Amino acid sequence: MATLHLVRHGETTSNVMRRLDTALPGAALTDFGIRQAARFALEHGDVGEVRLLCSPAARARQTAEVIGDVWGVTPEVVQGVYEVQLGDLEGRTDDDAHELFVKIVRSWYGSDEATGRAGERLRGVAGGDDPIPGGESWSMVRDRFMPVIDDIAARYLDGADARDVYLVSHGAAIRLIAAHLGQVEPRFALEHHLRNCSEVELNYALGQWDCVRWGDDEAPFTSTDPSETVIDPMG
């Protein structure tokens, strides 16, 4: 059984400034972000024969390059796996922009607006499809991201030569795609943001996906009080 590791990039200057930064190429890593990438690689030790892929965004490419230097693996840039595009909200740091982004993403998961929580009986991403003003809808993100995932599964995760794949991408997009693939409860996906250089792991076999790790949490996943989680739209 092979595993797809969806890895969030290291810390950027925009993360520090709370700037909504999605347009390519985007901000570069901070010195701390570079150290996060190196620590991720070192903590995973000898990964053997793996594929290392990344988004075309500068922060994802830098993260993959640092990881690849440690592992002795050359990263490959793949298109279509960049962050949710924020259109009119791009570059903003104000609370109103952050709140609008969060509200729209919640609606994609099927969030209950009265409580701010997603319906617990739903699985995966099963809500609305309203686009971010001037930006993308959930279906637009899915339709550009999923062909890459399907290609990865067919080329690397299946058959006698199957091997693990590490794909360095972006927080909001990773959570949406991982919840979709692994049929993860939307409330859990909403509440559990990913820190820089943390990952979601999905096992793949016989055309089926099984989400086994989400950041620090292992399956089965349990929702918590949203007030206890860090609100980081880009995570």
pLDDT mean over 182-211? 94
Average pLDDT for 68-85: 97
Indicate the pLDDT class of residue 235, thresholds 50, 70 and 90: confident
pLDDT of 26 > 70? The answer is: yes
Residue 62 has pLDDT above 80, yes or no: yes
> In the predicted model, is pLDDT for residue 16 greater than 70?
yes
Rounded Cα–Cα distance for residues 122 and 13 (Å): 36
User: Could you report the per-residue pLDDT of 215-225, keeping only the tens digit for each?
Assistant: 999 998 877 65
Q: Does the pLDDT at position 122 exceed 60?
A: no
pLDDT at 116: 42
Q: Is the whole-model pTM more than 0.85?
A: yes
CATH for 2-228 is: 3.40.50.1240
